[in-house]
Structure 1
Amino acid sequence: MARKILVIDNENLVADICRISLGKFGHEVFCAMSGEQAVLMADNINFDLAIVNKRLEGISGIEAFEMIRQSNPTLAGILVTAHASLDTVIEAMNNGFSRVCKKPIDVRELVQAVSETLKIACLREDITRMKTLLPLYDLSERFFAAESEQAVYEELADAVMREVDVPCVSVMMFDIPSGTLKVVAHRGLKAEFVDNLEIKPGEQIAGRVFQSSVPIILNRTSQYLSPYSDLLKRKELSAAISFPIVSRGKVLGVLNISETRDGNEFSEADIEMLSIITSQAMMALENVRFIREREENSRIRALLEQYVSPEVSHLLMERNQDLLEVGSVQELTVLFADIRNFTLLVQHLPPEQLRIFLNSFFELFAQIVFSCQGMLDKFMGDAALVIFGAPVKTDNPCVAAVTAAIRIMKGFEQLRLFWSEKDQIFEKVGLGIGISRGPMFLGNVGSSKRLDYTVIGADVNIAQRLASETSSGQILITDRVHNHLGEQFPVRIDSNRWLRGMESEVTVYSLSIDETEG
């Protein structure tokens, strides 16, 4: 791994040897001719290793190394001296140096010393990182206990305050309707400052971080080095970080932390810590959204299966069609079934017995409708409305509707005969079915508090009127339905009828259950 190496030596030969021999290994070598120059360079560059000549004019090499390590405590060091005595080695170790090399420098010895020193430095960095970061992984238990998105955001704000030890935190998430970042959780900030705060992508620090997906560190002492320095306007802040909140490669928001205590600054270690905390928060957020989506899908599936078969419901869910938002005018076929002389049953049977009969019929009815890929719109006392052609497309909705009508008629007749053995009143009961086709609206109808997924159109009324005019065991269809049937069914023309509420005659065809036997 390429590293940044600072050579502090007043001899050009040493600088050249280090630059050439270490540059071959990909290291970036910087040279300072004095301790003062080295300290200034270290203010702007984070070095991994310093190769230091003990004897320098002005600030000694050891003093310069100590000064640099105050702001960069992980800096490793190799001391170069012409007098490598035991006392010198002890002094070097006491001042944080890992190795001592004797002048004149042997290139092979230097390369080996640098390699070993950097390996030790890497191990120390890993150990320090593990000690610092391992406790953060225990945060997952807290995050995954959250039962809502808001609870995840609140725990994220708490975790950052607790683990990073900062006085001010804000969690901003992108709000799609407004197209802005909004604060969803905060700590240490006044409510009036954040409640109405909206930042567009590209605006201010948070907006730029959201747009670029690159975190920004601003420290007051080195603020002038940042292209974003003009954005750190609040005088009470000594440091700030804006960190992108990312899930599955997509930026969802921005986490902002700020420091108001003098002398406290942020570093790459804080970025790494925020990365771990936010990644765990986003895993918890995905979990919450997955559970919510699963529950919503279960709710929609249960709702769908009141209208269509489980197989059709599964097909619609796989297509990801949100039926609660769908609404359009379509060419559809509707079937309306009406129990004839139902009033006699109401007057003659106890309510509980009437309920049992209706449940038996509607169970039979629903099974047949679903098997023919129809959508059961609703039961209405002694009647039922069915849609063919949507939301699942069929090759010929009219054929499906007539097939279902014939099977329903036969099933009802068997049910009627069964109940006739219990009560003769059922001998006077029959079933009539009307089928029509035409353009109609299919979708949600109602208010925000009560929606009904249904069909509206003139042909819905026509099917209902036809059913009310049938004789028991009769199926009446319109000419539009007839035109789609071909020769599959024994259909005969009935008549042109003036149906109640219609402004013109309707051409009607009929089928009877007896004509469809065999």
Structure 2
Amino acid sequence: MSSKKILVIDGKESISDTCRMALDNIGYEVFCAYGGEQAIEMAMLVKFNLVIVDAMLPGNNVNDTFDVIRQADPELIGLLVVCHADMDMVVKAMNHGFSRVLEAPLNTTELVKAVQEAFALSALREENSRLQTMLPLYKLGEKFIAATSLKEVYELLLDAISLQINVPAISVMMFVEEDECMRVVASRGMDEAVARKVAVKSGEQIAGWVYEHGEAVILNRESQENSPLSKYLQRSEITASISFPLVGSEKKILGVINISQTAEEVVYSQSDLEMLSVICGQAIMALENVTYMEGREENARTRALFEQYVAPEVAEILLSSGKSFMELGGVKNLSLLFADIRNFTMAVQHLSHHDIHLFLTEFFDLFSDVAFSWKGTLDKFMGDAALVAFGSPMELEKPSEAAIYTAVELALGFEELRNKWLKKSDVFKNLGLGIGVSRGEVFHGNVGSSRRLDYTVVGTEVNIAQRIASLTESGKILITEAVYNDVKEVFPIQDEASRKIRGLEHEVKLYSIQADLVTLP
């Protein structure tokens, strides 16, 4: 049943009796006043939804009484009861806010119908008013969602607050993790030089208190002395202000909106907080959407960068590790493969730059595809050579086997590539691919600085792999003794003489594998 309250102002009691009988029975609360002064006093204590007034109320001007009562609630509905309604009386009543005129004596059926229709019309007006308020906010929401940068969201937020609350000064403060404080990221009515210097820590000043507690604060001049936060007000010209927390979807406080007013007649209320809540809610969704999109784009760029070095599975490990690039790596025992195109320096003298580019592109595409298929980490391309490591950052159960299978596929693939280009030029008949595989402790990780990522391997074993690759005949793979011990039970291996390697004091024991004798899995 409805709990709407109806005030009947009647000097003869007959109207009151009829209203009680007709309206009490259908759930309305009916209050009666027997004079204008009594009605005004009652309206000061009780919020009424509808007033029924006898036009013949003695000792008072009916319209004046209704006007006084409506000052506190302009949306109050009024029904006027008259003995004989004429057009002039109806028009005058409507001009004073009455929604309908009823003739006495009251018919209970018509009374109930009139009251219900009045409430229905009032509800329709309220809904229209709400829609008129919400439509600009809906359009604002569309703009927020369409925003593509944080700066754009901040400017839209300032525009919306300026439009809906009409304030001369606004600042948007966001918490900056690196500085461990809030800084102004956008403002209106605030000196830019001052805005740049603002730094408020959690708990400091009014904005810091709001950030720490996640609660909005209203300070009006007439009542601000009652607030313990009034001591932080430093500008005497401010008559009213609100600090409102920006709360993310996970209840994390992201920052604070500050608005202030200097006009004497302005007083901020709960309705202003509700409007800020709606606007800031839309802004938060837009901020999180932009942040997500920027993060996704950054992850895509990072992933694309990593996948130039490693297989997609390895890139996923690096990205999900939660470590910074400088933290990745360390000293570890790895298997290393170095491949070098033999006689390419002589060949390029007889090739166009276009053909050189195309050939190397095809070679390095082959190298990358094969290395990544065996979970190798591509260290770098060096002219007509390349280096790949096995065992980091993705752990491999048998890194040396992966290196040998990679070497075999590379040797066989290069021969196909060479034969393809041999149809274009005899220059390619002298080309070959030297491959060396070594194993041992090396440093693997980011070498350089945090501003430039160079994920690489450094150590003696890298030099050994490069040197023995230069000693290898095309189609043959030279391996060191450490690699031999790992794979001797898997591949057909031939013993080779020990070699003196430039840069090393001792000779290196070598073994070889003929690529065309290996069966790929």
- The Cα of 1:379 is off from its aligned counterpart by 1.5
Q: Which moved more, 1:356-365 or 1:268-277?
A: 356-365
Change over 3 Å in CA distance of 1:167–1:430 after alignment to 2: closer
Matches within 5 A, 1:457-496: 457-485=459-487, 487-494=489-496
- The Cα of 1:265 is off from its aligned counterpart by 1.0
- The Cα of 1:169 is off from its aligned counterpart by 0.6
User: Which deviations, in whole Å up to 9, do the C-alpha atoms of 1:157-183 show, x marking residues without a partner?
Assistant: 122112211111111111111121111
Which residue does the alignment assign to 1:272?
Answer: 274
User: Which deviations, in whole Å up to 9, do the C-alpha atoms of 1:96-147 show, x marking residues without a partner?
Assistant: 8999xxxxxxxxxxxxxx9999998776654433322322221134434543
Q: Does residue 131 of the first structure (1) align with residue 132 of the second (2)?
A: yes
Which residue does the alignment assign to 2:161?
Answer: 160
Change over 3 Å in CA distance of 1:434–1:263 after alignment to 2: same
Contact 1:181 1:199 (8 Å CA) reproduced? yes
Q: Which moved more, 1:445-454 or 1:159-168?
A: 445-454
Change over 3 Å in CA distance of 1:211–1:39 after alignment to 2: farther
- The Cα of 1:272 is off from its aligned counterpart by 2.0
Which residue does the alignment assign to 1:386?
Answer: 388
Q: TM-score, normalised by structure 1?
A: 0.75
Among 437, 441, 451, which residue is 1:438 paired with?
441
Which residue does the alignment assign to 2:284?
Answer: 282
Which residue does the alignment assign to 2:108?
Answer: none
Q: Which amino acid aligns with 1:189?
A: M
Q: Which amino acid aligns with 2:181?
A: T
Q: Which amino acid aligns with 1:500?
A: R
Contact 1:216 1:241 (8 Å CA) reproduced? yes
Contact 1:445 1:452 (8 Å CA) reproduced? yes
Which residue does the alignment assign to 1:58?
Answer: none
Q: Does residue 199 of the first structure (1) align with residue 195 of the second (2)?
A: no
Q: Does residue 358 of the first structure (1) align with residue 360 of the second (2)?
A: yes
Contact 2:434 2:476 (8 Å CA) reproduced? yes
Q: Which moved more, 1:119-128 or 1:222-231?
A: 119-128
User: Which deviations, in whole Å up to 9, do the C-alpha atoms of 1:12-67 show, x marking residues without a partner?
Assistant: xxxxxxxxxx9xx9x9xxxxxx999999989xxxx687999x9xxxxxxx999977
Change over 3 Å in CA distance of 1:6–1:374 after alignment to 2: farther
User: Which deviations, in whole Å up to 9, do the C-alpha atoms of 1:345-401 show, x marking residues without a partner?
Assistant: 234545444444333322322221122122222211121111222343333222211
Contact 2:412 2:516 (8 Å CA) reproduced? no
Contact 2:174 2:255 (8 Å CA) reproduced? yes
**How far apart are the structure 2 equivalents of 1:119 and 1:232?**
47
**How far apart are the structure 2 equivalents of 1:259 and 1:72?**
25
**How far apart are the structure 1 equivalents of 2:318 and 2:329?**
19
**How far apart are the structure 2 equivalents of 1:345 and 1:2?**
96
Contact 1:39 1:67 (8 Å CA) reproduced? no
Contact 2:341 2:431 (8 Å CA) reproduced? no
Q: Match of 1:228, SS?
A: helix
**How far apart are the structure 1 equivalents of 2:171 and 2:420?**
71
Aligned residue pair count: 502
Q: Which moved more, 1:403-412 or 1:489-498?
A: 489-498
Q: Which moved more, 1:445-454 or 1:373-382?
A: 445-454
**How far apart are the structure 2 equivalents of 1:361 and 1:236?**
74
**How far apart are the structure 1 equivalents of 2:392 and 2:228?**
58
Contact 1:478 1:506 (8 Å CA) reproduced? yes
Q: Does residue 219 of the first structure (1) align with residue 207 of the second (2)?
A: no
Q: Which amino acid aligns with 2:165?
A: V
Matches within 5 A, 1:193-342: 193-250=194-251, 251-309=253-311, 311-312=312-313, 315-316=316-317, 319=320, 327-329=328-330, 330-342=332-344
- The Cα of 1:94 is off from its aligned counterpart by 9.1
**How far apart are the structure 1 equivalents of 2:4 and 2:220?**
22
Q: Match of 2:368, SS?
A: helix
Change over 3 Å in CA distance of 1:515–1:241 after alignment to 2: same
Which residue does the alignment assign to 1:377?
Answer: 379
Q: Match of 2:223, SS?
A: helix
Among 403, 411, 418, which residue is 1:409 paired with?
411
Change over 3 Å in CA distance of 1:419–1:509 after alignment to 2: same
Contact 1:440 1:459 (8 Å CA) reproduced? no
Q: Which amino acid aligns with 1:203?
A: E
Q: Does residue 429 of the first structure (1) align with residue 432 of the second (2)?
A: yes
**How far apart are the structure 2 equivalents of 1:514 and 1:125?**
86
- The Cα of 1:337 is off from its aligned counterpart by 0.7
- The Cα of 1:495 is off from its aligned counterpart by 5.2
**How far apart are the structure 2 equivalents of 1:426 and 1:129?**
83
Q: Which moved more, 1:171-180 or 1:192-201?
A: 192-201
In structure 2, stretches of 5+ residues that fail to align are: 8-23, 30-37, 55-62, 101-114
User: Which deviations, in whole Å up to 9, do the C-alpha atoms of 1:158-210 show, x marking residues without a partner?
Assistant: 22112211111111111111121111111112234322111122222212222
Q: Which amino acid aligns with 1:196?
A: K
In structure 1, stretches of 5+ residues that fail to align are: 8-21, 28-33, 55-61, 100-113
Change over 3 Å in CA distance of 1:76–1:327 after alignment to 2: farther
- The Cα of 1:86 is off from its aligned counterpart by 10
**How far apart are the structure 2 equivalents of 1:298 and 1:317?**
13
Q: TM-score, normalised by structure 2?
A: 0.74
Q: Match of 1:201, SS?
A: coil
Q: Match of 1:194, SS?
A: helix
Q: Which amino acid aligns with 1:435?
A: S
**Percent of aligned pairs sharing the same letter:** 44
Contact 2:182 2:199 (8 Å CA) reproduced? yes
Contact 1:436 1:462 (8 Å CA) reproduced? no
